[in-house]
Structure 1
Amino acid sequence: MHLPSPLRLFRIVATAEAVTWTLLVVGMVLKYVTKTTELGVRVGGMLHGVVFIAYVLTCVALWVDQRWSPRTALTALASAIPPWLTLWFERRVERDHLVGQQWRLGTGGQRPASAPERVLAAALARPLLGLVVALVGIAAVTAVLLVVGPPVPKS
């Protein structure tokens, strides 16, 4: 399995996050403005939730691998909250060279020095297994959030 570069992976996930934001916003317009269907919110909301979790996981991996400062990492994570801001952040990351073309902890790269680096290095050394573990993690978080449900307003 060919592993995408950190920059390419971030670009893909940041764009997917923005696209799913668009689906959710369109769904909310259909539900709350035109009052025609709830389907857009159900489908767009689920897709957006799954991609949001993938975006967070990608940001954490890049934080570890690219040695982002806490400020950069928190900005990356916060950019997923307002619609479409991940596109701005992705361009900023590329412009400021905050994400490289190579994985620092990838095969033949630097030796991991901490527990998070060892976990990421293991995932990068076995990309198919790392992808499966990431997908299982995303599915598990999604399942837990579905069971917990949305916050209930206090009356």
Structure 2
Amino acid sequence: MSPRTFYRTVAIAEAVTWTLLITGMILKYGVGVGDWPVKVGGFAHGLVFIGYVTTAVLVGLNQRWPKRLMVGAAATAFVPYLTIPFDRWLEKNNKLDGAWRTSATAHPRDSHWVQVVLRWMLNRPALLSVVFVVFVGGIMATMLFVGPPGGRS
């Protein structure tokens, strides 16, 4: 899977989970079916939200995006559906071009320890997948332990 496909898939999933969360809120507050739709939609959205931010950083590092662009990509997850037009902007500006960088080049940033670790992980896709899932799951577990925004009722 290319960086473009990986980023695009998670960006679309993030927009889909916004739909689940918004639908859950409509069902809870508009129709009065109880808390479960928000809990389901909120859990799915939270998990994919964290995955999207992590993906934006991972792909951004691989594509050598400036820090500001990585932060901007992550910030799009806070606004419903903004990941989709941002993905289109990235595509239009060739920010998703290229494969995973599994070997060093002459680029000055390639000797930075972050890039070295990234290449090492990219050369071990099974390990990278496990680290990605554990990282996202760990943040999600921490957030569930801390509690929902606004506290528990």
| TM-score, length basis structure 2 | 0.90
Distance in 2, matches of 1:17 and 1:89, equals: 12
Quote the residue 1:117 is aligned against: 115
8 Å Cα contact 1:6/1:99 also seen in 2:
yes
Quote the residue 2:73 is aligned against: 76
8 Å Cα contact 1:5/1:100 also seen in 2:
no
Q: What SS does structure 1 have at the residue aligned with 2:111?
A: coil
Quote the residue 2:56 is aligned against: 59
Q: What SS does structure 2 have at the residue aligned with 1:40?
A: helix
> What's the CA shift string for 1:94-121, capped at 9, x where partnerless?
1110111312x22x45374222212211
65-74 vs 40-49, which moves further: 65-74
Give the share of equivalent positions with the same residue, in percent.
41
Gaps of 5+ in 1: none
Quote the residue 2:126 is aligned against: 128
Cα distance, 1:152 vs. partner? Answer: 4.0
Q: What SS does structure 1 have at the residue aligned with 2:33?
A: coil
CA RMSD, Structure 1 to Structure 2 (Å): 1.6
Gaps of 5+ in 2: none
Instruction: Say which of 10, 14, 25 aligns to 2:11.
Output: 14
Structure 2 residue 40 is matched with structure 1 residue 43: yes
Q: Which has the higher helix share?
A: 2
Distance in 1, matches of 2:47 and 2:105, equals: 31
**Number of residue pairs matched by the alignment:** 148
Q: 1:151 to 1:48 in 2, by over 3 A?
A: closer
Question: Which segments of structure 1 move beyond 4 Å, counting only runs of 4 or more?
Answer: none
Report the AA paired with residue 87 of structure 1: I
8 Å Cα contact 2:63/2:98 also seen in 1:
no
Distance in 1, matches of 2:105 and 2:29, equals: 51
